[in-house]
Amino acid sequence: MELIKTKIVIGCDHAGYQLKEELKDYLLSNGYLVQDFGTQSDASVDYPDYVHPLATFIEDNQEVRGVLICGSGVGVSISANRHRKVRAALCWNEEVAKLCRQHNDANIICLPARFITNEEANKMVDVFLNTTFEGGRHATRVNKIEIEK
């Protein structure tokens, strides 16, 4: 029996739907438990409607990591980062995916569906999920991100 590695939450808008479905299959085939926050088709939707429930889940479950996808990755990143305890990083290659975990303790990777291949997405998510936060001087900086209201 194959063990579940960890839980991953995933969401997208219409532009990210196909990549989300491919990535979800990839993650499931690699032993991850995946919770899909939608959308469930390529019909036009407003990305915040899918980002906010996923980001709220991350706020309440800090041990879980997330994946968000839209055409450019920018809209989902901006929306997710409105949530406390969320550090959503727009990634376009493996090195950025690695650094956002090592140096920024990102807990959501945001992907630009219109600019990357399925294979590139798989590799970036693998790096993101398998890289640990270095802490140290980076922890001092990360702890300064959230502001008090």
Residue 139 has pLDDT above 60, yes or no: yes
In a domain, 17, yes or no: yes
Which among 14, 52, 83, 103 is annotated as catalytic?
A: 103
In a domain, 1, yes or no: no
Burial 49-86 (b: 16+ CB within 10 A, else e): ebbbebbebbeeeeebbbbbbbbbbebbbebbbebeeb
Model confidence pTM above 0.85: yes
Q: Is 14 designated active site?
A: no
In a domain, 71, yes or no: yes
pLDDT at 2: 46
Task: Evaluate whether 104 touches 110 at the Cβ level (below 8 Å).
Answer: no
Lowest mean pLDDT among 57-61, 86-90, 139-143: 139-143
Q: What is the pLDDT of residues 31-80, one digit of tens each?
A: 999 999 999 999 999 999 999 999 999 999 999 999 999 999 999 999 99
Tokens at 63, concatenated? 């041990």
Domain boundaries, position 63? 7-142
In a domain, 149, yes or no: no
pLDDT at 1: 40
Where residue 146 falls among pLDDT bands split at 50, 70, 90?
confident
In a domain, 15, yes or no: yes
**Of the candidates 64, 66, 15, the residue with the CA atom closest to the CA atom of residue 37:** 66
Neighbours of 12 (CB within 10 A): 32
Q: Domain count for the chain, please give it.
A: 1
In a domain, 148, yes or no: no
Tell me the CATH number at 25.
3.40.1400.10
Residue 149 has pLDDT above 90, yes or no: no
